[in-house]
Each structure stands twice: as C-alpha cells, then as structure tokens.
Structure 1
C-alpha cells in the first residue's frame, strides 16, 4: 500500500525553462524594458523565441538608460519608429552565451563580439575568418560587433570583485558601441541571468549602432583628421567603402608632425591618408606582435604588442594606439598618438623607438605620398581575415577619389 505514494514522490520533477520576459520581470531595475517588451511582444517574441538564434546573450538596458535617453533627446525611447527599435534590440543581442565569468577572466584585455544587427546602414562590413571561426561560422558572426572590455580581475576574489564594482568605484566592465560610446555592464549570476535562449546581463545605457566614418571622426573631435580628409577629397570613398581600418592620428599628432593637414598638397595628403588606411577590419583583440598589413598606399604597417591584460599596449609602426576599436559602420578606427612613419624611415633612423620617445616624424615628401598618377585599390590583403574582419574588395581610389 505504501508503494504508490513512494513512486509518486520519486517521480522526476519537471522544470520550466523561463522565457526572456519571465527572467527580465524578476529584475526591479528593468521595469521600463519589461514594459517595452510586453507592449512590443510581436517582434520581441519573433526575435527571442526564434530558437535558430540560440544561444544568445541579451544586454538589457536598465531604467536609468531609458531616463538618460529621454533627458538627452526630449523623446521617450518607446516613441522611436519600430524599425529603429528593432535595430537597437538586435544590436543589444550578442550571438554567444556569455556567463559572468567571461567578464572577469583574468588577464583578458577585452573581446569583440558580433550581434544580430545585420542591416547595411550600420553594418557595411563582412566577417573575416578569425571572427567566423570564433563565433560559429560566417553566417552567425556576420552582424555588427561590440567590444567588451573586462574589469581587471587579477585578484583571486574575482567573483566578489565584479559584484562590488558598482559600489566601490573600482574598475568596471564596459561595452563599446558606435560613436565611441561606452556603457557599464553588470554581469548576473546564472541563478538570475539565465533564460531558455542563453543569458542576459544589465547595461546602464543604450548601445549606439555604428555610423559612417565621417560622423564618427567628427563626433570624436578629430579636427586634424577631418581637415585632411576634406582637403584630400577622400571622404566619399571612405564612407562608402566596405571593410576598412583607419589608423587616425589625434590632433596633437597632427600638430607634432607640422600640421600636414594644412601644409601638404591634395595628392601628398591623399597618399599619407591611404598609408594610414588598412583594407580590412583589424580589431585589437586579434592583433599579434609582428603582424604586418599592406596599407591602401601599398606601404607596410607592422604591429607591435607589449604586455598582457590591462597592461597590453599596441603600436602601428612608430605610433601608439591611444583609443582602440572606435567602431564604424564599415569597420573601425584606432586613434594614434603620432603620424605613422614608414618602416624604411624608421629603420634608417637609429633614434626611432615607440612613439612615446620617438624623434622620427613623417616627411611631406616621404614614401607615403604617391605620384600624381598613382592609384590605390581596396584589394584582398596578405593578412586577409586575420584581424577578425574580411579584407576590403572592389573599390578603387585614384588621386583621392573613387
């Protein structure tokens, strides 16, 4: 007589895998997004209930993000057109399953992650072999990326560290998106941040889908680079080209080099700018010491990497990267502290060292300037795909014009 109740007690319990909406609803700081999800359930369900997208990680904007947007624009986020809202949600959705530990990995300098945003207006780039290999193939990794910078978690108390960063003012995890925008991310434990399609974590601001190079450079107030691109006539070609890495000297670098943006003629200026442009997308986490690229001016650009984790520093030839992974719709820009010097000039100058102590400067008549009849093409580079992105193809620049 006791067997039946015993069997019932031993029967396996069925567990319900919660939906994203159910998981988000348990977070008090996500009330605005939960309401947004509920009022836009048709497209939200189509996106998050689509198992072919799984696994994903959703970066959920908290209530402060909604308030900040309305304060900055005077318009509630929910008043945006449906197609714009869809792009935002797609860009907040990463095509990988990231746990809290991924944000506290000791020694990590950060990592590039594709999203579900694939529209050409914000994603005029293609995926390279390295990024595709890391994220499940070219189809899955084809969306525009974000760059996640980890909190420095060298301490053995890494888990407690990331949980307390918001309170103790220490280093924090950030997500970089378009227009040099950075938001803070609060990673959640598996007990809180897991849903049927993967995981979610909380961000304190909206991600910005990458814009054209011209908008990005002007937003960063890189006036020297802006002036140079205007005078050379390269703006149209740069904005419309696919798969580009701009190595952009900052304003001090232009001044230290004698203001070439104002003093070089158009042909010399175009050549110098093409020397600072790589025909493929080269994210910082895929760069290796000694790696070489061929620029659009046919010059060799060599990468130097020193240190690891938070101490990792990168140079292109003599110029040090001072702001990496400034994302654009067609690739990215690395901001440099110097105008790059050709390798031949560096080798010929015994005092040429990394840019912090280098006395070498780019000459207006150096090999970075092509002859008036010279042409440069966006072509398959020798390091195609090794920077995480595809090499640029099919575009031709002649005397600064497409």
Structure 2
C-alpha cells in the first residue's frame, strides 16, 4: 500500500525538478540508477532495509536477522571507506606532501641565494656551476603547461566525483516526506522499485552520514592532490602521483566490488531514485540550465588550475611556495632542451651514422654531422 504523493517543492530550483505531481499527469518516469559503490549500497540499505526492520517483517524469505546483519555490514563498510580515505589523506599530507614541499622550498631558497645578486640580478655563471641545478630544473613547476594539463585532469576527476554526489543530493532534496516507512518505495507499472519519498530520519541520516562526509572527503582530496602534484620533484613522478590519486578516489568502488556479495549488484539495479518526466517546456528550461552548469564546469576546470599555478602557488596557505616569482621555467629552458637531446637521432641512424661504435669514447657528441658513418 502506497500513500498519495506529497505536495511539490519549487520546480525551478534546478534540473532535478520536483517529482510530486498527480500520477495521471506524470507521463513516463525517469529514474536515476544507484551507483555500484559503498555509497549506493548505503542508500539501498538505509531505505530498503529500514522499511523491513520498522515493519517487523521480511520479504523475499529474508528474516529480520538478515536485514540487521546486512545493514550493519553496509554501515561498517561505509565507515571503513571513510577511515581509509581520511587516513590516506592525512598520511599523504604529513608523510608525502609536507616533505616534498619542504624540499621544494629549500631548493628554491638556495636558487635565490646562490644564483642572484642582492638586487635580484640573475648570475648565469653561478647558475651553470650550481650543484642543485638539475634538481631545480627537474621540478614540475619548471614545466608550467605540462603541470597545468595534469592539474586540469585532476580537477576534472574531482568535479566528476562532486557532481555525482550533487545529483543524488538534489534528488533527495526534491523528494517529498513520507509519513510511513513503507511509503518510501513504490513500484511502477514495469515492476521497477522507485524511491519516491523519504521519512525524516532517513533523509537526515543520508545528509549527515553520506552526502556531507563525501563532499568533505572530495574537497580534501582536491586540495591535498593539488599540493601533492605541484610539489612533485620530476615529471615522471607527476604521472605516477596522478595515478595514485585516482586510486584513492576509487576506494569506494573497490570495497564494493571486492568485499560485497555478488547479489548486491542486482539489488542496486532493481531500485531507482525516481523523478517525473518533465513536460516539453520544462524540458527546454531544464536543458538550458544544464548547459549553463556545464559551461560553468568547463570554466572551473580550464581557469581554476591556470589561476592556481599563475597566482595561487605563491599565496600563503593556498600555495606550496609562498612568494614564488615564476622565475624557474625561463632559466631551465636550456636544461630541458639539452635533456631531450638524443645521443643518436633517428635521422642520423637513417643517414648511416655509427652512433654506438665498439671501443669508442664513453660519450658521443650530440651532433649527427660529427658521427663517423660506416
């Protein structure tokens, strides 16, 4: 038995407009799939299992003990997921980011002390003989555009994570308030179970224990990951660090796929977060709002990392190198050019140059015209 739909909220607040209209006016329903991760399992358990527990009866021949065990397992997995992500954040910041930041600042300090006059004039000779020149020029801050591209991808990764959570939050927000626990889930004419309403206890549990912590972890990952990438000591490690950060983001999916019973995937597929299908005019407004948001997201991903590297890196608290003058890349351009110069180019080998002669000198000159052709 399902109760009648509750009065609607404001339908112009965002693209997930209010679903609560007369069923005769609904048209085709639109459903949002539950994600196949710890968060999706938590949503399912909190809504579905709570109905069975509060009603003191089981369906599908499952007893109350099984429902309690499943709810405990899901909540424990959620807490373990938070513990793992927060622990990795804290350890990464204290054991990786801070030491890397200290090394970065020390090299940059020595660069200014030993390669400049007191009036800020650069001394090329001192720079060429400086024993930390290679360390300075291998820092990723000396390669602005490559670092920018990696940061943009990292920000896009975290924006994607944030948007997934935000879609679910908006769907929860626009659901009506159920008076009875069993009114939260309904079946449509196709037999699909749809979450249409939430009791207050479930709504606030999802806000406080799922949506809010997930956003906090996402913000923490974005900030810590940005600092970590900017402090990386060379470009090879920059790529590896970016991959490691992606692994941290996917911990919730890893826990679900590795630790949950296989039947959970089918359970999540059978339950949807419901929204009514909008009318034609409403759909046009919704589409316009969605594109405005998408343009805004592109602006954040393109401009945000650029601003951070151009201005934010040298700011206190936000940056990893307070007072950074962006004077590394220009002086390291020659290092990067020489570092990419091959002992034997493809054209030289094609032209018949003997690049690696037996019994030859230990190092060959990097110019094909002086090679001895066979």
Q: The TM-score by the shorter chain falls in which range? A: under 0.3
Larger radius of gyration: 2
Structure with greater strand percent: 1
Structure with greater helix percent: 2
What TM-score does the superposition give when structure 1 sets the normalisation length?
A: 0.22
Between the two structures, name the one with larger relative contact order (CA 8 Å, sep ≥ 6): 2
